[in-house]
Amino acid sequence: MCGIFAVLGLQHRGPDWSGVYQHEGNFLAQQRLAVVSPLSGDQPLFNEDRTVVVVANGEIYNHKKIRKQFTGKHVFTTGSDCEVIIPLYEAYGENFVDMLDGVFAFVLYDTRNNTYMAARDAIGVNPLYIGWGGDGSVWFASEMKALNEDCVRFEIFPPGHLYSSAATGFHRWYNPAWFLEQVPATPYDPLVLRAAFEKAVVKRLMTDVPFGVLLSGGLDSSLVASVTKRHLVETEAAKKFGTELHSFVVGLEGSPDLKAAREVADYLGTIHHEFHFTVQDGIDAIEEVIYHDETYDVTTIRASTPMFLMARKIKSLGVKMVLSGEGSDELLGGYLYFHFAPNKEEFHKETCRKVKALHQYDCLRANKATSAWGLEVRVPFLDKEFIDVAMGMDPEWKMYDKSLGRIEKWVMRKAFDDEEHPYLPKHILYRQKEQFSDGVGYSWIDGLKAFTEQQVTDEMMNNAAKLYPYNTPVNKEAYYYRMIFERLYPQDSARETVPWGPSIACSTPAAIEWVEQWKASNDPSGRFISSHDAAATDHAAAGAHGNGNGVAAVANGHGPANGAVNGGKVAVANGHGAANGNEVAVAIAV
């Protein structure tokens, strides 16, 4: 081993403390955002004789339980939840990571035998990268911008893995039953699902700083807010900061989220903060967003930009931590394209693929767009125990079934449909899914398309494959983001960290095979699946999207699509006309 260099947290991610450790040719550094034990948890963290050192970016929700386990066996010197990593390592060696309940990215260095290990949480909520220097050194960092100029090669540190210098490589520590993608058979129990989610939310109220909830007014964020409000009085946080809950939303004037969020906030009695932005505000922020997100994925950038703008305003109010609703759609098949899963086997496999990829999409967005301003986001849907329950049920219960009155995420809606002690109003509980970038205002996406149309010429698009042979942009919006990314991160390793492939409504490439006509679309927005009320009726009828002149704007062809496909259940419009089918119409636009 030539040495390690670990940087967990860059200055924007952790403005509260800078800590550096050096031993021979090994360096560990951490920038701290103090949320738990802000007065005593500065890093690096050490064992009693300072022979074991840790830098960590994480929240360990079961740290008090672990501390009790080591009473009389280990002397804790801080109140940091991450300090429990050290006695666990000393007691169990490297085989302790699964004992941590939380999200984390950490590097541990043992000076006694000159070995080190690094690990990342199960789903990849917290970012981590690994790189290799030309001298044989191994580097770790929360963001690749700390590696891109010094490493000859770097890549995403895979979620659910640990890296050991002693074992010379990666080892998967997270091995849930669902990872093999075998279809489970456990019956749906709404009370079990509800209890698991409430537990996941409550444990994330572990904080020593002011906090709030992100509230778009959709099902996921509304349930997070409702459960938080209901149980806040029972927590230690309530003793410190009171029982008033702050909620936050961002959107264009008149956007769907603003209206829905206000209604939920009024129902729950939160102190609600509504932030507005303009399309120009978003366009002006795109380069900063790409710098912080470290991606050129279109959907991620679309959704990150409003979140980035909102995070700055939230932090200015003195709030350091918020709860959010990421992960539900992946676990429960909540995206609208799941309506067209051909059977429960394909449905379940797609949820598995989506959860495995979260670290490159929604987890990346939620973490990096907010950490840019020193704001921490916690995601209760991605709690390990809740994941086990959600992914362990028979997927038949999750599937869209009009005849049974089941819409997307019906299992979650039913679990919280409590007549005696309602969590939410019925119409909110059963509100249809919006993608975040759509919910903040449909004209946000239209504005981006119009802007990038002016910035990228047809000639540039014709030469896209020559200039960008790897993950070639398929439209002008993607091309524009790629130009900025390549200027900031020109290394081969950087562009290879970004996932690519066809998508409709956030699907994986594999799910595109479910409906033949989806293959023609090059826009990932969910509103172009016309089972989405706003897209199929009000908005598309206004002729505001893509190149369409009628009810549905689509990828190719010029005539209306009439009749039925797939047994009379799906009709797809391939042209500038209406889609007419017996049950569900699918409209694909570019």
CB atoms within 10 A of CB 533: 12
Can you read off the two tokens belonging to residue 117? 């290990």
HSE, CB side, 13 Å, CA atoms: give it for residue 454. 6
- Helix/strand/coil for 319: coil
Contact 81, 43 (CB under 8 A): no
Query: Closest Cα to residue 165, out of 116, 204, 213, 211?
Result: 116
Maximum Cα–Cα distance for the chain, whole Å? 77
Which contiguous run of DSSP H or E holds residue 58?
strand 52-60
Distance (Å, rounded) from C-alpha 97 to C-alpha 307? Answer: 31
- b or e along 194-204 (b: 16 or more beta carbons within 10 Å of the residue's beta carbon)? bebbbbbbbbb
Q: How far apart are CA 230 and CA 243, in angstroms?
A: 10
Going 231 to 237 to 243 to 248, the CA torsion angle's sign is negative
- Report d(CA 359, CA 349) in Å as an integer: 17
DSSP, res 5: E
Who contacts 406 (Cβ-Cβ below 8 Å, separation ≥6)? 399, 400
Catalytic residue among 2, 82, 352, 506: 2
Interatomic CA distance for residues 245 and 233, integer angstroms: 10
C-alpha torsion sign, points 472, 476, 480, 483? positive
Strands (DSSP E) found in 80-174: 102-110, 115-120, 129-132, 138-141, 153-156, 161-164, 169-172
Instruction: Give the N- to C-terminal CA distance of the chain in Å, as an integer.
Output: 51
Q: Is 352 tagged catalytic?
A: no
Annotated catalytic residues are: 2
